[in-house]
Amino acid sequence: MDELQKIIRRRRTSKPVTFSGEVPDPGLVRELIEIARYAPNHHKTEPARFYLLGREKIGQVGKLFGAVAAGDGSDPSLVEKGKRKEQEWSSCPGLLVVTCHTDQDSDLARRYTDLAREDYATCSCICQNLLLLMESKGISSKWSTGPVWKHPEFARTVEIASPGTEEVVALIFYGYSDAEIPPRPLTPLKDHLKDFS
Ligand SMILES: Cc1cc2nc3c(=O)[nH]c(=O)nc-3n(C[C@H](O)[C@H](O)[C@H](O)COP(=O)(O)O)c2cc1C
């Protein structure tokens, strides 16, 4: 089987708690982001924005996630969960936030009502490209949409460039992991394919 097929099948979501403390080279991650951007993009809007966080901001985002998970503090089990989440997220070696920028007031958005949906599709392709590129370099990852972005301090903490017109697509946690994750079994293709060939 060729290399691309192997990587696609091998990539699995990894739990950040299994990541070692080693931080993947930010220069390498920047290169992977550059390659990942070559995804199909209707209207060539280049909608993806990237926020490559370092130690300090990862810790701050972890704290915010802990606060979101803890809720209003009245439920001890949620407070406990908040502590766990903060610890898990804060100690992650790498975190990349990917957002989708679509200006709904632009002429293009007025002309193409599907623009935001299609921009989001492009950003999703870019995220998958990134996960596969990371996998190809031995970097494990997890795509999360954990609700930390709902925290009122999130946009300021990550320094989101246009908070009003950017939507979080993925928080990509990454690092090195020895955990062996078996391939994910899928239902048979024939259940999902009408083949008229
Ligand atoms: C859009 C999107 C959002 C996701 N959000 C989360 C999340 O918030 N928390 C989580 O544990 N996993 C999240 N995942 C990972 C999925 O749970 C994972 O892909 C799925 O369980 C299949 O496992 P696999 O990636 O190992 O094949 C997300 C994946 C996608 C594509």
Say yes or no: domain 3-191 is CATH 3.40.50.720: no
- Is residue 1 pLDDT above 80, yes or no? no
- Ligand 1 centroid–CA 13 distance in Å is 7
Does residue 8's CB lie within 6 angstroms of at least one atom of ligand 1? no
Q: What is the pLDDT of residue 124?
A: 98
- φ, ψ for residue 61, nearest 5 deg: -65, -40
- Ligand 1 centroid–CA 124 distance in Å is 12
pLDDT in tens, 97-134: 999 999 999 999 999 999 999 999 999 999 999 999 99
- Cα–Cα dist 90/106, whole Å: 37
- Cα–Cα dist 122/117, whole Å: 9
- Ligand 1 centroid–CA 6 distance in Å is 20
